[in-house]
Amino acid sequence: MIDEGIMLIPAAMHQMRSNDTEYPFRQNSNFYYLSGFEEDNALLLLQRSKKGMKQILFVQKKDRTKALWSGKRLGVDGAKKRFHIDKVYAIEQLDTVLVKLLKGVQNIYIDLYGNRAFFHRIHTLCRTLYEDRHVKVSPHGFLHVNLLIEQMRLIKSKDEIAVIEQALEITKEAHETAMKMAKKGMFEYELQALIEQIFTTRGAQSEAYSTIVASGNNANTLHYIANNCRLRQGDLILIDAGCEYAMYASDITRTFPVSGTFSPAQKALYNMILEVQLAVIDAIAPGVRRSKLQRLCETKLCEGLIALGIIKGRLKTALKHGAHKKYFPHGVGHWMGIDVHDQAPYVDAQGRELALEPGMVLTVEPGIYIDQHDTGVPERYRGIGIRIEDDIVVTRTGCRNLSQHIAKRVEEIEALCVGVAPAG
């Protein structure tokens, strides 16, 4: 994909949390995608020339003192044995090796929006070469590499999809356990702790994003993460939670009743949203564009809101004025992979919307959010927030719902909430 030149992808660095404590380390997604290397303070170099492609990895040396405090590292020799790569150097040799490799190279492919300190470091090396009278050709083209990697990440291999499915197995257990254990008087954070305990004990690295446990009117804050309110009888709980397993995300939202049984109004609104979600999933196939899925989702949600008396007027007029967007303000879904909102393009280099292709993984997540103080809707619907989200892979003939085994039909949810095994 690249012309002659050198591509540089740095690993993530540890980030300070407070004073001398750090956030849990999480590898740079693009670096991991291309290398599989999980340590910090490393760099992958790909060199393309007339002779072919060369791969070089820079890693931290083994250090007994650092190992005592932070754990063992593969080191240069260990990385040589572990990875199929042409050469491995100690990261301390980076500047020396780069100066030699960059002589005669015109193009450098790099993340122009990423690690500023690293970009400045490379810029300084290039300037040194430019000012050296003995160097005839030095880098003068800095090219943004992210789009190339993002295009690769957009199409998942069978192995990648298998890892996502493993993440979803863990996420299924977490969501369904929360349905079984939730009861009035509990705090939202108790369910959060239960979910994240299951993630950890089942081998997931962490949650893929901040867990949302939003009961009652809290569900009408889309990114609610305070998770500090008590569960009340009669309320619904919206849980948006997914684990990260082997660096790949899952992203699932389920909504269920604290009491174990949906009220008539809750059930009517829930089933309407579920029907919309199923219709959108059924429309996913190669060649379809996300904008079509968005229009389908909005049209059907608007139809449903009119039928329930939440929106008044005719469908065409309501859609034209965006009456439904007050209650459905977000998109129908997003790409998912190594990042929960996967770093992959939605348009091509000319700005044209991409059509779906086999191997793409996306979420489908319609929802309706009605604030408790919204006097413009019937009282029975006020304070209800519902979202239903699944993870879908596009196939040659249509799509496959990777999370279809996670309970979401009303009868499945109510059976779990009251401790009865659902039929089938």
How many residues in the chain? 424
Q: Residue 268 is encoded by which pair of tokens?
A: 């009517």
Active site residue 330: yes
- Residue 242 CA, chain-centre distance (Å), reads 9
Q: Which residues pair with 378 in a beta bridge?
A: none
Active site residue 140: no
Catalytic residue of the set 176, 240, 298, 414: 240
Catalytic residue of the set 330, 346, 348, 379: 330
Give the β-pairing of 107-110 and 5-10. Answer: parallel
Residues with Cβ within 8 Å of residue 226, at least 6 apart in sequence? 188, 218
Rounded-to-integer distance, Cα 240 and Cα 35, Å: 31
In one-letter notation, the amino acid at residue 125 is L
Asked if 289 and 356 touch (Cβ cutoff 8 Å), the reply is yes
3-state SS assignment for residue 233: coil
Catalytic residue of the set 160, 389, 391, 412: 389
Catalytic residue of the set 123, 341, 382, 400: 341
Active site residue 414: no
Active site residue 20: yes
Catalytic residue of the set 153, 175, 290, 334: 334
Catalytic residue of the set 89, 209, 224, 369: 369
Tally of CA atoms within 13 A in the half-sphere of 266 that contains its CB: 24
Angle, nearest 10°, between helix axes 158-181 and 410-417? 50
Catalytic residue of the set 165, 251, 298, 303: 251
The region, left, alpha or beta by phi > 0 then psi within -120 to 50, assigned to residue 108 is beta
- Angle at 178 (CA atoms; ends 172, 183), nearest 5 degrees: 160
Active site residue 116: no
Report the 10 Å Cβ neighbour count for 228. 11
Active site residue 251: yes
Report the 10 Å Cβ neighbour count for 142. 15
Q: Which residues pair with 368 in a beta bridge?
A: 386
Active site residue 196: no
Catalytic residue of the set 303, 387, 391, 412: 387
Active site residue 339: no
Active site residue 348: no
**DSSP per-residue string spanning 328-343:** --S-S--B-SSSSS-S
Catalytic residue of the set 223, 314, 352, 373: 223
**Burial readout 326-351 (b: 16 or more C-beta within 10 A, e: otherwise):** bbbeeebbbbbbbbbebbbeeeeeee
Catalytic residue of the set 20, 116, 133, 159: 20
Catalytic residue of the set 176, 190, 244, 365: 365
Residues with Cβ within 8 Å of residue 151, at least 6 apart in sequence? 1, 344, 345
Q: Active-site positions?
A: 20, 223, 240, 251, 330, 334, 341, 365, 369, 387, 389
